[in-house]
Amino acid sequence: MTDLLPRPVRFDRTGGSFDLPSGAGVTGPVGPVDSLRRALPVLDLRPAGHGPVTVTEDPALGEEAYALEVTPEGVRITAGGRAGAFYAGQTLRQALGAEAFRAATARDSWTVPCGRVEDAPAFSWRGVHLDVARHFLPKREVLRMVDLMAAHKLNRLHLHLVDDQGWRIESRVAPRLHEIGSHRPRTITSLRGEEDAFDEVPHGGHYTLGDLTEIAAYARARAVTVVPEIDVPGHASAILAAYPSLGARAADGREPAPFTVLDRWGISPAILSPLPETIEFLTAVFDELLGALGETPYVHIGGDECVLDDWAASPAITAFREELGLAEPSDLHAWFLRRLADELAGRGSRAVVWDEAFVSGALRTDTIVMPWRGTGVARRAAEAGHDVVQTPVFPLYFDYAESASEDEPIAIGDAITLADVAAFDPAPSSWTAGQRGRVLGAQFQLWSERLPDGRAVDYRAWPRGCALAEVTWSGAAGADFPERLTRHLDRLDALGVEYRPPSGPRPWQLGGAGHRRHRPRAVKVEEVMRRLEEMTHLADSTRPSIAGDGA
């Protein structure tokens, strides 16, 4: 068990081993036992009155904490709750060897080294952001991501369900959202500086409400919480293509401006009207979404990259703003997001926003901030009393290439390396104790302009995701992380993950030869971070910080 990843709080090797037969009996409370069995499907443990595997529950440990002891006589687990039992199972799975990560084997027994593990996470939010709006991923890929998260003790799946390029959920109260907003006729293939070119292939898809119920239940059973994102009031082309009456122009009684689901990357000036009718419309959609997902402790409402020009130019919206006693369109941006957060709070969900919403001000005190534009604005949000989930472009935007090389598949920019992620500190020691206490954790972002399918997602997510799993679970990557990762890659191979090898892409993963080559240094992440930090201090902070389509 010396190659555990993420690194546990404590591990003591005691010598010897225990032979654990497949189909062995497991005893203990039903909930934790079910979670343990789900973490170890290859073992086919059977609930029984007695057996070599025993589970006890001790809530004093904390829901996600556990102790695992293997002796020559058997396996004993003490778990703080169902999640703790599940994570104990994942640790035991690693101790069994890489073959335990296959869907099925012909083995009748497994040799487990004896030892004791005591473990609990450093951060409560250990997340993955999956953009299914730019490129839709079928349900099977979402469920697979849940499995990969669970294997790494990651516990928040942030689904970016809405953007200019697509709306991805069924709506029965507003069916045009999925009937019109879920597909586009083509997708741009040219890069910045090139003449526009498109693939002329329709792209689309959406999850039914039944799919969402399934995804949430599947995730919940694996200690993963789904965090849905409906990004408003900007990034609204797909919404307005379906319901143009929600746009700012229509607020003045004029013919609504025509909108289409965007077929190119970048950011549209399309923005929803902030009038009460829009709040009512979105509230009905949120009710439908929450009804499908079940208990949903967090809902992301976006707030990023909003061009407020249409609000400023609208007499009706200006009159409404003045009636509210608000001085600037940015104040109305803050008011709009707070109203949605109030509605969600009444339904038992905390709002989550990108950092532009914090800069606009007037957030509910319980609103969680995701500061994508750097740790400077993150510290300001924490100082203001907001819980923070660290999401900075550097080093947690995994749509950036892992090296500045033409061998890489096309990416928005470069470079964010495995070592960069492993060195990340979500709660820097330079912050005050109060500021550090506001950091819930961190998550990596998989924006999908350059991620058309599951193979591309695998390549970008892993093994950099392994590094963030260790950082968020263990508090920091251990000095021996590279050595443990080398052995952990055998587990990824058994799981069928098409990760990027630390030494570089495999021949079929290379840029070129039918794939667009990466353009090294076309977008430099260090320059991006400087510009983003500057933007967080401007009065016009909501305006998009990065123009164009990336690489």
Q: pTM, whole model, 2 decimals?
A: 0.97
Which residues 6+ apart lie within 8 Å of 146 measured at CB? 157, 215, 218, 219, 222, 224
Provide the CATH number for the domain formed by 125-535 in this structure. 3.20.20.80
Query: How many other CB atoms are found less than 10 A from the CB of residue 439?
Result: 23
Give the C-alpha separation, 519 to 523, whole Å. 9
Q: Please provide residue 197's backbone torsions phi and psi, each rounded to the nearest 5 degrees.
A: -140, 145
Q: What's residue 540's pLDDT?
A: 84
- pLDDT given for residue 118 in this prediction: 98
CA distances from 86 to 20, 62, 93 (A): 18, 13, 10
458 forms beta bridges with none
In this structure, are residues 4 and 484 in contact, taking their beta carbons and an 8 Å threshold? yes
The contacts of residue 454 (CB under 8 Å, 6+ apart) are: 137, 141, 144
Catalytic residue annotation? 305
pLDDT value at position 547? 47
Secondary structure letter of residue 132 according to DSSP: -
pLDDT, position 19? 96
For residue 529, the model assigns a pLDDT of: 93
In this structure, are residues 52 and 73 in contact, taking their beta carbons and an 8 Å threshold?
yes
Query: Can you give the residue ranges of every domain in the chain?
Result: 10-119, 125-535
Cα gap 301→7, rounded to integer Å: 34
Q: What's the confidence (pLDDT) of residue 545? A: 65
What tens-digit pLDDT sequence spans the chain (551 residues)?
A: 679 999 999 999 998 999 999 999 999 999 999 999 999 999 999 999 899 999 999 999 999 999 999 999 999 999 999 999 999 999 999 999 999 999 999 899 999 999 999 999 999 999 999 999 999 999 999 999 999 999 999 999 999 999 999 999 999 999 999 999 999 999 999 988 899 999 999 999 999 999 999 999 999 999 999 999 999 999 999 999 999 999 998 888 888 878 999 999 988 899 999 999 999 999 999 999 999 999 999 999 999 999 999 999 999 999 999 999 999 999 999 999 999 999 999 999 999 999 999 999 989 999 999 999 999 999 999 999 999 999 999 999 999 999 999 999 999 999 999 999 999 999 999 999 999 999 999 999 999 999 999 999 999 999 999 999 999 999 999 999 999 999 999 999 999 999 999 999 999 998 654 567 788 877 899 999 999 999 999 878 888 865 444 44
Q: So what's the pLDDT on residue 515?
A: 62
The predicted pLDDT at position 551 comes to 46
List all residues 6 or more positions away from 487 whose beta carbon is below 8 Å from its beta carbon: 3
pLDDT of residue 36: 98
Which pLDDT value is given to residue 342? 98
* CB 171 within 8 Å of CB 177: yes
CATH number of the domain at 10-119, out of 3.30.379.10, 3.80.10.10, 3.50.50.100, 2.60.120.260? 3.30.379.10
- Cβ-based neighbour number of residue 516 at 10 Å: 15
